[in-house]
C-alpha cells in the first residue's frame, strides 16, 4: 500500500513542476515554512529516488549562493550539475534573505534558527515520501548547520568547506592572519562569548563581528564544536575542501576527518571557497566571488555524485 501512495504523491508532485527545460531537469519553487523558500530540481529523463538538500553558508546568502553585491551562482551551479547527474536537489534562501525582502529583519535571530530551518526542510521532504533517500550538503557555515540537522535520520552528510574548529577559534585564526595587531583583542572577546557572556569592550575595528546585536548569535554559534558533533554521526560522511580556499583551510577538513575516521575525505586542488578552480593568485581568487561566468569544479561534482550514488 505504501508503494502505491508513493507513486500517487510523485505523480501529483510532477504535475506541479514547470515545463522541463533544455538542461534536462524540471524546476519547482516551493515554500517550506513561513521563512523558507527554495527550488527543487528533478531530472527530466531519469527517475531519482535520491535528494540532496543544499544548505548555504554565512551571511544573507540566497539559494543560488549569492549575497549583497556578490553574485557567483555557485550553489545554483552545484544544484544543476548534480541534477544533470541524476540526483534531485533542493536549495533554499536563508531566512534572513526573506526578512530583508520584507523589510523585517529579526535582530534576535540565532544560529539555532538556521538549524530549525534545515530540519523543517528535511521533515517536509520526508512527509512527501517523494524520495527514498535524503542527503545533506552543507557549505561553509551550512556545514555545521547540516551536521546538526543530519541527526534527524538522513542517509548521508557532505561537509563542503566546513570548519572543524569552533567558530570562535576560526575567527581568532583568521584575524591573526589578516590583522595580527588585533589577534589578542579578538581572542579575549571570543573567550568571553564562549562563556555565554556579552561584552562592550572590543576595538571598533572588530565591530562587524562583535557588536551588541551580533553577540547573542555568536554565543549560540560558538556553543557548538563541529568535531564533537561529527564524531557521533552514524551515517556515511563525505568531507570536501579546496586547496585555494581563502576562508576555510584544508586543515579544517582534516580535523573533521580525524574526528570521524569512517568519513571520506576529498581535497580538491585549486578549488576555492565558492567552488571555482583558481589557477592564479589571491586577487584572482577574491575577484571570482563575483564572477558568475565561471564553472564550478568538475571534480567536486564527480565526488559528490559518486558518494550519493554509492
Give residue 6's pLDDT. 37
CATH of 2-165+224-309, one of 3.40.1160.10, 3.40.50.1820, 3.50.50.60, 2.60.120.330: 3.40.50.1820
User: Within the chain, which residues score under 70 in pLDDT?
Assistant: 1-22
Q: What is the pLDDT of residues 71-128, one digit of tens each?
A: 999 999 999 999 999 999 999 999 999 999 888 888 899 999 999 999 999 999 999 9
Give residue 94's pLDDT. 97
Give residue 10's pLDDT. 39
Q: What is the pLDDT of residues 113-151, one digit of tens each?
A: 999 999 999 999 999 999 999 999 999 999 999 999 998
Among 23, 127, 123, which residue's Cα sits nearest to residue 76? 23
The grid cell for 177 is 592572519
According to DSSP, the residues that pair with 70 across neighbouring strands are 67
| Start-to-end CA span in the chain (Å) | 28
The domain ranges of the chain are 2-165+224-309, 167-219
| Contact in structure between 278 and 272 (CB atoms under 8 Å) | yes
Give residue 93's pLDDT. 97
The length of the chain in residues reads 310
Give residue 71's pLDDT. 97
According to DSSP, the residues that pair with 50 across neighbouring strands are 133
The grid cell for 135 is 542527503
- 3-state helix, strand and coil shares in percent for the chain, rounded to the nearest 5: 45, 15, 40
Amino acid at each position: 500500500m505504501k508503494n502505491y501512495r508513493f507513486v500517487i504523491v510523485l505523480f501529483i508532485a510532477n504535475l506541479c513542476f514547470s515545463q522541463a527545460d533544455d538542461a534536462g531537469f524540471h524546476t519547482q519553487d516551493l515554500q517550506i515554512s513561513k521563512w523558507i523558500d527554495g527550488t527543487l530540481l528533478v531530472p527530466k529523463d531519469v527517475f531519482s529516488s535520491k535528494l540532496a538538500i543544499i544548505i548555504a553558508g554565512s551571511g544573507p546568502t540566497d539559494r543560488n549562493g549569492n549575497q549583497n553585491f556578490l553574485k557567483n551562482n555557485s550553489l545554483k551551479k552545484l544544484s544543476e550539475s548534480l541534477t544533470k547527474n541524476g540526483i534531485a536537489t533542493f536549495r533554499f534562501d536563508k531566512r534572513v534573505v526573506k526578512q530583508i525582502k520584507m523589510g523585517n529583519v529579526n535582530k534576535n535571530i540565532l544560529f539555532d534558527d538556521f538549524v530549525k530551518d534545515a530540519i523543517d526542510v528535511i521533515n517536509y521532504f520526508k512527509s512527501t515520501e517523494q524520495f527514498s533517500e535524503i542527503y545533506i550538503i552543507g557549505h561553509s557555515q551550512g556545514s555545521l548547520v547540516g551536521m546538526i540537522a543530519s541527526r534527524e535520520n538522513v542517509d548521508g552528510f557532505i561537509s563542503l568547506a566546513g570548519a572543524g574548529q569552533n567558530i570562535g577559534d576560526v575567527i581568532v585564526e583568521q584575524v591573526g592572519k589578516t590583522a595580527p595587531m588585533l589577534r589578542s583583542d579578538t581572542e579575549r572577546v571570543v573567550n568571553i562569548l564562549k562563556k555565554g557572556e556579552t561584552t562592550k569592550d572590543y576595538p571598533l575595528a572588530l565591530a562587524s563581528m562583535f557588536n551588541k546585536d551580533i553577540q547573542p548569535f555568536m554565543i549560540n554559534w560558538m556553543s557548538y564544536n563541529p568535531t564533537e558533533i561529527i564524531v557521533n554521526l552514524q551515517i556515511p560522511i563525505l568531507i570536501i575542501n579546496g586547496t585555494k580556499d581563502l576562508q576555510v583551510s584544508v586543515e579544517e577538513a582534516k580535523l573533521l576527518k580525524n574526528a570521524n575516521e569512517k568519513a571520506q575525505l576529498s581535497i580538491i586542488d585549486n578549488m576555492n571557497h565558492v567552488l571555482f578552480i583558481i589557477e592564479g593568485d589571491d586577487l584572482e581568487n577574491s575577484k571570482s566571488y563575483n564572477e558568475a561566468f565561471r564553472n564550478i569544479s568538475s571534480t567536486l561534482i564527480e565526488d559528490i555524485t559518486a558518494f550519493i550514488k554509492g
